[in-house]
Structures are given as C-alpha cells and as structure tokens.
Structure 1
Amino acid sequence: MSDEQIDPPRRRRRATRTRLVLRWSAIIVVIAVLVTGGYVFYNYQRFTSGITHIDAITHSNAPQKDADGTDQNILLVGDDHRPANATADQLAKLGTEDDGGGTNTDTMMVLHVPADGSTATLISFPRDSWVDIPGYGMDKLNAAFTLGSQNGGDAAGAQLLIQTIQNLSGLTIDHFVRVSMLGFYNIVDALGPVQVCLNAAVDDPYSTLNLPAGVSTLNAQQALAFVRQRHGLNNGDLDRQVRQQYFLTVEARQILSAGTLLNPVKLQNVLDAVSSSIETDPGLNLLALAAQLHGLNANNITTATIPISGTPTIEVDGQDLDVVEVDTAAMPGFIAGMIGPPSAYVKAKAAPVGSVTVTVLNGGDTDGAAASATSTLTSLGFATGTPGSADATVTTTIEYPAGLEAQAKALAPFVPGAIVSLSTKVSGVTLILGTDELTVTPPSTASAETGPSGAAAPPASASPAQNFAAGACIN
C-alpha cells in the first residue's frame, strides 16, 4: 500500500497519513481582506453569497456558559471532501484520489480571537490525538467527524467534532469553518506564487516536494506538497503542523501586500475563490469579526500545538495504531496560558481579601497539600471551603466563574506563578494545586511572577508558542 492511500476512516494504520492539509487558512485570508476597507465592504454581498452554511453550532454541543465571554474561538477544519461541482481536471490537480472511505478531517485548529482583536492565537490539535469521542469511546480525533456524519450528515459530524474538542480543551467553540483540499488549491492559485524559506533542501517522493535550501517560490500544487510533507521531518505529523502554522503567516502577509490589495482584479479573484471554498455556521458574521480584528497582522498571530506526552504505537482490534497521546494533565494550564485571562479579569480591581472565599483542591502529588494551603489562606484572612481532590494536573490554576473576576484577582498575588482561568465547572473561586508544587505564599515573600493579569507562561506544548517573522526559515 502506498503512503498516499487511505484506510477506512475509523482506524488508520501507520503508512496512511499524508492527506492534504491547511485548507483552514482560507478563513484567515477572508479576515485579512475584510479589514482592509471599503472595497471589500462594497463587495460583501457578492462575497457572502458564495459561502455554504452548515449547522455546526447547536445548544446541545455548547457549554451552558461561555467561559470566554466576548472572546471568540473558531474551529478551522481542513478535510479531503470533494465538492460536488468539482471537475475531473480540478481533482486531477490535487494529486490524490477519493477512496470513498468517508471524510477525513486532517487539519483541526482553533483560532482564538480576544475581545479587543489586537492579537490572535492559533492552537493545533493533531489529527491522531487519542481522545474520548462522546458516544463512541476512545479513537483518533480525526474520526469524530466521520462517526457523527454516519447518522446525521455533515452537520452532525461537525457537531460531534466540536463537542470532542470542547471536552478535550475546555474551550467554547463559537464558530466553525471548513475548507476542502480543492478550496485550498483554488485560494492559493488565485493568490499567486507564495514564497517560503527552508533551512535545508527537501526531496520527498511521498509529498512530491523537491526544494533547495533557502527561499523558493511555490505555485498552488507545490504549496499543497509543502503543507502535506511529513516524511523527512524529525517529528513527522507534529512538524508538519509547524509547516501549516508557518504557511498561514506567509499567506497572511501576501494577502495584505500592496500587490494584492491594490490590484482589484486579483483581489476579487481571491475573494471569489475564498467564498466558493468555505463552509461556515450560519451565525458567523464576517463583518463583525473583521471589525473585531482591526489591529491584526501577521506579526501578532501566535501559534502552538496542544501538549502531548508521546506518540506511541498501541494495539486496537488486533491492529497496530500510531497515536498522539495528549497530556490532559497539562491541557488546562496550556490553554489558559495561551489565551490569557478574559478582558473582564484584566480590567477588574482586586476585591478585599476578607470578602473572598476560596476552595482548594489537590491535583498534585503531595498528600495533604490542599489542607495545608487552606490553613494558610485562613490565616491570611480569606474565607475557605472544604479542601478536596481534583483530577491530576501539571499546572496550579486559579479557576473562577463569570462574575467573580475581582475575587480571583485578589487571590492571584498569593499564588505566584499560577494560571488564572475562567471556568464553567466551578461555582466559586477554586485553587487547584498541580504537580508544579506551587502553593499559597504570604505577601511578604510573594513574587510578582504573575504580573497584573495573574497569568503565567503556558506549559510546554508539542510545538513551542511562536510568531513567524517576515523572511523566517523553517525545517
């Protein structure tokens, strides 16, 4: 079996993982273009008329409370579905054939947009992540869409994928965007040649990518090969996600360049390619999103991959299966550190210590840590709840429900280094101790590590958080 063939969607063996990826980048192109001004607003009706809508967001798969408030999380999905109106010539350009085995969601990323729109954070979820899919048990993350769609079509597939990612990450998914491989091709083709830079030459027969070290100019077919390569990369699929993140910033810079924005014909071609290539939930208002992202540029997009603890081969139904083992204990701290505290927390003034009730839970390794921290908090003037235990976690976290920002901010200086996180799972300010062994520190010795927001740096991820500068080269 060749590396480009695909097994049935529920179980994928080791040699069958080189699907085309990065169709999600289309939505970034949309955002970047929308914020440029009057030309796009004038053509907005034409642009939106070409977009297909899918009922991906429902009350059943959304948390009761949105922990992000006015921040937004957009799930960006790239898959291998073939649009019904695709011609044979178009499909031939993709370099792969449909095996009829279901839709494979090979690229899944969450774009986090804070309320002020000044930055954006892109979090990658490896497709081989071994996760609990509600109603189906443990499976690879990219099986969720197919499993859901078997009984309810694409909308049910999207809903199950969203529910799975929400359960895994703790994030609320506000919107859904899906792009096919043909859509990706058409967008890059309309945008024109894209320049990338490699630290070392590449000659990969599986993806067909053959490039020298240094700067290369790619057409649409070469761009597909660039974002699909995993052979020859030290970390395989995980390094390929870095390729995807890198290509995003390159494409964002190109769409914002004068060569695109000041060329009405080219700009319209790009807009038409984007609108005909994406599917979104009906509630995604691109004009409102564009207004929120008025200050965004390629230099303030931060990218990272969720924390993992390994890439083992496990046996499932008598077959060897390569999976990505998610570090669920590190996930809460990673997510909180990546997206930072909501704007309501940043703006809040700390409440008086005596008005704050804190419950301490132990998610670390030290016996009696919750009781000890509770005693210290009581001596410092806090009201306290009954100490208890929590699921194992790496990072000490202060969790609070919406409306208790001031109370959480009062506690943060007493637990230097702790992550502060808005949560729908707690009813009051809750200190969850982790294996990092942070604990309550009296103010006379407390450090200022948490800063004004109380947020510490996130735990290590599968790929370090980074911004790709203009002209940057990658492996």
Structure 2
Amino acid sequence: MKGINQKPVLSVGVFMIILGVIGAVTFFSSRELFVSWALPDLETTLFVPVESPLPPTLRSPTPFPQLDLNQPLQPITGPQPQAWDGNRRVTILLMGLDARAGDPTSVPPRSDTLILFSFDPKTNTVGLLSIPRDLWVAIPGFGSGKVNTAYPLGEAYRADGGGAGLAMRTLETLLGIPIDYYALADFQLFARFIDEIGGVKLNVPEAVEISRVNEDGTKWILPGVQTLPGAEALAYVRARNTPGGDFDRVQRQQLMLLGIRDRVLNFNLIPTLIAKAPLLYGEFSDRIRTNLTANDLFKLALALQGVPSENIFLSAITLDDVTFYQSPEGLDVLLPLPERIRQARDEVFVLDDPLSPVQLGKPLDILIEEEAAKIAVFNGTTIPGRAALATEFLKAEAFNITLTDIADEIYPKTTLIDYTGNPNTVNFLVSFLNIDPQHILHAYNLESDLDIKIILGEDWRPNGE
C-alpha cells in the first residue's frame, strides 16, 4: 500500500470513469446502442470447461434499452445495480478488454487488465488494487481458471449478468467483499484516447521491447523522458517480456495512467474532451460498458474531486501474495495466498470494519477458532484407516471434523480444498499435515456444506511412522 503525496491522482480508475462520464454526457442523443459481439445460442446447462473453450457460433446483436438518466450504460443482459445514494462505499471492477481489430467477433475478448476501485465517502478515501491476469481462482459455475477468463466465459455461456457479472462474482469470492459496479473499455479505445490528448509524456525507468498491435517487428522504448503516441503507449503497457512479467506490466500501467492524468490536467483538456464527447462516444459507444447510471457517474465524478492526495492508495497483488503453480492442464499460473490477498485488500480499501485479524495481532489459535471451519477428511491412499487416524489427530487439536470417508480415487499427493476462505486454518493444516503448497486449491463456494476438504494422498505419513 502506498499513499500518494503529490498532486491528486485517480490513476486507472478515473481514466475508466472519465470514459463513462463522456458517455453519460452524450447518451441523451443516443437512442439505441449495440454490443460489439454477441453471445452463442446455447440451450443446455452451463458446461464446466477445463481451459475455457468458447463456442464458435453467434446470435444476433443484443440492443440496449431506451436509456434515461437512471438507466445503466450497458445491454439489458448486464448485471443490474442498485442506485448509489452518494453516501455508502462504492466499489467498481475496472476492466480493459483485449479486443483487437480483425479478431473474430465470435470469441469474446479476455479481460487483460483488472483493477478494483473503491471510494468511501465517509472517510473520503480512494483505493485501487491491480490484479494480475494469470491469478488462478475459483470461477463460480466453471471450476478453477485464470481470472481473466471469467469475463469471456460469462459472455459466451450467458451467465447471470454476462461476462461482467461473472467477473464481479469471481473477485467477490476471492476478496470477500461486495462489488457494486463495473466499467470496461477495450484497448483500441485506450490507444485512440492517447492520440486524442496528443500522446502521453513518460519518464521511462528502463528499456522495454514492444510489439505494436497488427504491425510486424518490434521496437525498443528506451529509458528517459519521451512522449508516446497511442499505438506505442498501448504496446508499452501490454509488454510482458521483462523479468517481472505481469508484475512489471502492472507498474507500467500505473505509470502510463498517471501520465494520462497529468496530460489531461496540465493541458486543461477536460473542456476539450467534453466538447468532443458526442463525436468520441459516437465512434466508440460499443467499446464502453458500465452498469453505473448517468446520474451516478456524475455524482461519483463530482465527489472524487474532493479526495485529497494523501487519501488515495494504489497497490497491486505482487509476488509476495502468490505462489507459482502449474495447473492440471499444464498452465503456468499464480496461486493466491488468501490471507496475503485479503491483507492487501484491507490496506488498500481502508475498510470500515476492523482490518485483517492478523493485523490486529490475535493469536493463531483464536483466529482458527473464529473461522470455525467444518472439515472433511477423505482417505485417498491404498492403506485402510488413514482418514480415521488423521481425524483422531485433528480432533485432538480441537478441529471440527464433520465427515470421514474414502476418496473416489487414489491420490499420489495429499490435497486440501478450501471452499469458503479460511486462511488461518489452512495455514495450520498445511504445516501440521505437511501438505505441498502446490496441492492447496481454492474452490470458493459459500453455499458449500463443508469449509475445507482434506484428501490424504500416498505421500502422507502419521507422526512417528
């Protein structure tokens, strides 16, 4: 977490919200808008894919309803919000879509950028948390997958609220907080916006090799102060071929969008952008989506002007918050460490409730008792009685074992599945049972009868054996 001590910065969140405000300014003259891709016509129940295959067929475009000040700027299939009263905390999922010219419209784009934005009027604070796209999470109704696949899955399989709704629910279960709204734009709009403001001036910290979209060859962005046009700015924030990969890219995105903020304010471009709003929104209306209404967009934009710089917090999920993991399909992904993730959440969003229990200094046994996890133990070995033996050990440690049974197959490695988010219990069990961290799974399901499922593998040995 970092407080910004310079001029007010709203970074990526405000950039995305500005796009929404541009839309709000002009939607009065927009009587009917259309989505830029359609959803496949599936009659069966939701399929649970292994690596997010998407169906090839299309339906006809879904029209927007006739809009007024109190209707969200999205198709009728989008997640339905509650009106914002201007007083309660508002949390918005900001998404940048990887949609490129020439890509087939039959495949909804992935969310290449994910940032959680939160504004609390009571404390007058703003927080932004960047989320790496390779984070391996539970996607409700679809098992586990990279977090950036939630949006296209929701679009393709017509999940409740579409892709935005599924992405919101995915991050709600990961972070344990409600998400009220979303706002999204694709990268072609990003590049076009950069060109519209005359490029963006950056002090580039290190050389980065970029590859511009739909162009052959590469180019180096060298260290130093320079002004990048739209295509190069887009390539710069998307580059991954650096030692830190996606983590470096998050830093470049924040640098870029701080540069956008400076460009817009230093050159007093807001009046110009508002004057051009009808033209811009007419050109890119199918590339902006939000379930915020025009009224709420205006209220939010006005309220954000009063946030002092010291009340703005930027952060990201970093290497300290994840472990490297290879999925069952062989994908290199990032496995979240739940308590670390939620500590980052608490710090960035300065929640009204007390901070993470770990930050309050409570003893581990109290934290475990408060989680009160219901645990099932399954024998996945060829040795009879292993589950009963492990259950005896765990009950001696005062754990609540609600089920002991035999697994449906043999497991080479002991596996732990956390369904409801119990980081302290999980940490203790991993150490107590000597579980390989790569075999800790987070399949969040708040309706589950179990909180934690332990499947003993052939590698498990009782103490003293």
1:70, CA displacement in angstroms? 0.5
Output the CA distance in 1 between the equivalents of 2:154 and 2:341: 25
Structure 1 267/69 Cα, relative in aligned 2: closer, same or farther at 3 Å? closer
Structure 1 345/293 Cα, relative in aligned 2: closer, same or farther at 3 Å? farther
Output the CA distance in 2 between the equivalents of 1:24 and 1:164: 19
- In 2, are the aligned partners of 1:133 and 1:144 still within 8 Å (CA)? yes
Which residue among 290, 307, 326 is the counterpart of 1:314?
Answer: 326
Structure 1 322/298 Cα, relative in aligned 2: closer, same or farther at 3 Å? farther
| 3-state DSSP of counterpart to 1:279 | strand
- In 2, are the aligned partners of 1:230 and 1:236 still within 8 Å (CA)? yes
* One-letter amino acid matched to 1:243: R
- In 1, are the aligned partners of 2:208 and 2:239 still within 8 Å (CA)? no
CA-based RMSD of the aligned residues comes to 4.4
Which residue among 235, 255, 267 is the counterpart of 1:225?
Answer: 235
- In 2, are the aligned partners of 1:209 and 1:225 still within 8 Å (CA)? no
Structure 1 118/221 Cα, relative in aligned 2: closer, same or farther at 3 Å? same
Structure 1 residue ranges without an equivalent (≥5): 1-21, 35-39, 83-90, 347-358, 373-386, 395-424, 426-475
> Which whole-Å deviations, capped at 9, do the CAs of 1:184-236 have from their partners, x for residues lacking one?
1222221221101112233345884422211010111111111111112x210
Output the CA distance in 2 between the equivalents of 1:323 and 1:110: 20
Does the alignment pair 1:291 with 2:302?
yes
Does the alignment pair 1:243 with 2:278?
no
Does the alignment pair 1:333 with 2:340?
no
Does the alignment pair 1:254 with 2:263?
yes
* One-letter amino acid matched to 1:225: A
* One-letter amino acid matched to 2:221: L
Deviates more, 1:266-275 or 1:197-206: 266-275
Structure 1 231/206 Cα, relative in aligned 2: closer, same or farther at 3 Å? farther
The count of corresponding residues between Structure 1 and Structure 2 is 318
Which residue among 53, 75, 80 is the counterpart of 2:74?
Answer: 53
1:118, CA displacement in angstroms? 4.2
Partner of 1:77: 95
- In 2, are the aligned partners of 1:77 and 1:105 still within 8 Å (CA)? yes
> Which whole-Å deviations, capped at 9, do the CAs of 1:122-148 have from their partners, x for residues lacking one?
111111110111111111111112222
Structure 1 47/298 Cα, relative in aligned 2: closer, same or farther at 3 Å? farther
| 3-state DSSP of counterpart to 1:330 | helix
Any runs of at least 4 consecutive aligned residues in structure 1 with deviations exceeding 6 A, and if so which? 22-25, 40-44, 47-51, 362-365, 368-372, 387-390
Partner of 2:275: 268
1:289, CA displacement in angstroms? 0.9
Does the alignment pair 1:114 with 2:120?
yes
Deviates more, 1:300-309 or 1:158-167: 300-309
1:330, CA displacement in angstroms? 2.0
- In 2, are the aligned partners of 1:29 and 1:251 still within 8 Å (CA)? no
* One-letter amino acid matched to 2:16: I
* One-letter amino acid matched to 1:106: D
Which residue among 166, 172, 177 is the counterpart of 2:178?
Answer: 172
Output the CA distance in 1 between the equivalents of 2:106 and 2:212: 21
> Which whole-Å deviations, capped at 9, do the CAs of 1:287-338 have from their partners, x for residues lacking one?
1112221224777642211355445241423xx2110111112233221221
1:53, CA displacement in angstroms? 1.1
Which residue among 9, 18, 27 is the counterpart of 1:29?
Answer: 18
1:256, CA displacement in angstroms? 2.0
* One-letter amino acid matched to 2:280: A
- In 2, are the aligned partners of 1:73 and 1:111 still within 8 Å (CA)? yes
Output the CA distance in 2 between the equivalents of 1:322 and 1:175: 30
* One-letter amino acid matched to 2:168: I
- In 1, are the aligned partners of 2:97 and 2:111 still within 8 Å (CA)? yes
TM-score by length of 1: 0.56
Structure 1 288/57 Cα, relative in aligned 2: closer, same or farther at 3 Å? same
Which residue among 212, 232, 252 is the counterpart of 2:222?
Answer: 212
Partner of 1:181: 187
Partner of 1:392: 423
* One-letter amino acid matched to 2:78: A
Does the alignment pair 1:305 with 2:316?
yes
Output the CA distance in 2 between the equivalents of 1:179 and 1:110: 15
* One-letter amino acid matched to 1:163: R
Output the CA distance in 1 between the equivalents of 2:147 and 2:247: 14
1:281, CA displacement in angstroms? 1.0
> Which whole-Å deviations, capped at 9, do the CAs of 1:349-400 have from their partners, x for residues lacking one?
xxxxxxxxxx99x99885577789xxxxxxxxxxxxxx99892349xxxxxx
Structure 1 333/212 Cα, relative in aligned 2: closer, same or farther at 3 Å? closer
